[in-house]
Amino acid sequence: MWATREGREKLIDQVWSMYGLSVSRMKLLAEGQNTTYQVDTAPAGSSGGLDKTRYVLKIHPPGKADIQEVWSELQWLVALNRDTDLLVPHPVPTAGGKMVGELPAMKNGKTCPCHLTRWVPGRQLAKGLRLLHFERLGKLMAGLHNHAETFQPPSGFVRPRWDAAMLERWMELIRQGEAADLIPSKYVPTFALATRRVKALMREMGEGRDIFGMIHADLGDSNCLFHGAQAGAIDFELCGFGYYLSDIAESLWGLQHMPEYPDIRQALIAGYRQVRPLPERQERCVAAFAGLSAVTTIGFLVRQERHDLSHLTAQFARHLEQAFSEEV
């Protein structure tokens, strides 16, 4: 609804009103569950009198986002920017001091929650990743987890828990996908076995602050940037309380088929250990935590009512079987 010329013009006016920014350009970055724009402000000397700065504006559809959860995501980002030098988005409050703004919807009279963050510099390198990039990514993860270990959520902080109960809910969606003929039955036992293994490890590990805390939860290549000698992270929409191993496993998930995978895994963990300890026992559990990535991804696609998941579930099942063979 914001992607039309009329919608963009109205949006520019709203951003000026809400954030006091004189916008020179708005570029649509993504339109799916949410609508995301690159926002460039006018250079100094313009009507806004601001230096040219780039931002990201994310708009949530009306009634789909929990405003308290969005506010909480931004509170963690505020704390990360305050307490660390990690390369992560920096939230920008509205002129009225609110972290989560509200835009009037185009048609139905409802409002859309939105938030603005400063642009994170860097490049996505999905096809150009080298071992040094994985090492830098490991350092970034360790920095996030170091902060999470001491992070004190403010009152009213609400984020999802990526725990055994959540995993079981995603597995139930897979079973529903099987019943709806979205997923071939022959692959479901592999996902069920992965679920049991991860849940068993979660029970064994417990939820001590050295193991469990705020995680990004979606550190795949699309959410990683590289700027100079530093890795950065964007899109914290799925962040929540979970096992730190989940972030490591998510970044390695889907790379098992690559000949370079053992070196990639070693580089990422070596980078992590330059910043934060990773006991040998936990390292051996990384492969098992790949099951969390697999089950949540397929469960999410079933919830989205994606059809013809046969090829993807077959591919994921093969990756899971390989992960099982890596467990010690």
Residue 96 CB neighbour total at 10 angstroms: 8
CATH number at residue 101: 3.30.200.20
Q: Which of 68, 93, 118 delimits the end of a domain?
A: 118
Residue 1 is predicted with a pLDDT of 56
Residue 46 is predicted with a pLDDT of 43
Residues 170 and 70 in one domain: no
Residue 108 CB neighbour total at 10 angstroms: 10
Residues 6+ apart with CB under 8 A from 274: 135, 138, 139, 142
Residue 87 is predicted with a pLDDT of 96
Residue 12 is predicted with a pLDDT of 80
Residue 112 is predicted with a pLDDT of 85
Residues 158 and 246 in one domain: yes
> Is 28 among the domain residues?
yes
Q: Is 174 exposed, middle or buried (0-12, 13-18, 19+ CB in 10 A)?
A: buried
Residue 106 is predicted with a pLDDT of 61
Residue numbers of the domain that contains 9: 5-118
Residue 206 is predicted with a pLDDT of 96
Q: 242, 248, 262: which is closest to 219 by C-alpha?
A: 248
What total of structural domains would you count in the chain?
Answer: 2
Residue 51 is predicted with a pLDDT of 43
> Is 123 among the domain residues?
no
Residues of the chain short of pLDDT 70, as ranges, are 1-8, 42-52, 105-109, 326-328
Q: Is 37 exposed, middle or buried (0-12, 13-18, 19+ CB in 10 A)?
A: buried
Residues 93 and 174 in one domain: no
Residues 102 and 150 in one domain: no
CB 283 within 8 A of CB 248: no
Residue 306 is predicted with a pLDDT of 77
> Is 216 among the domain residues?
yes
Q: What residues pair up with 59 in beta bridges, in sequence order?
A: 35, 114
C-alpha atoms less than 13 angstroms from C-alpha of 151 in its C-beta half-sphere: 30
Host H or E run for residue 118: strand 111-118
Residues 145 and 222 in one domain: yes
Residue 325 is predicted with a pLDDT of 75
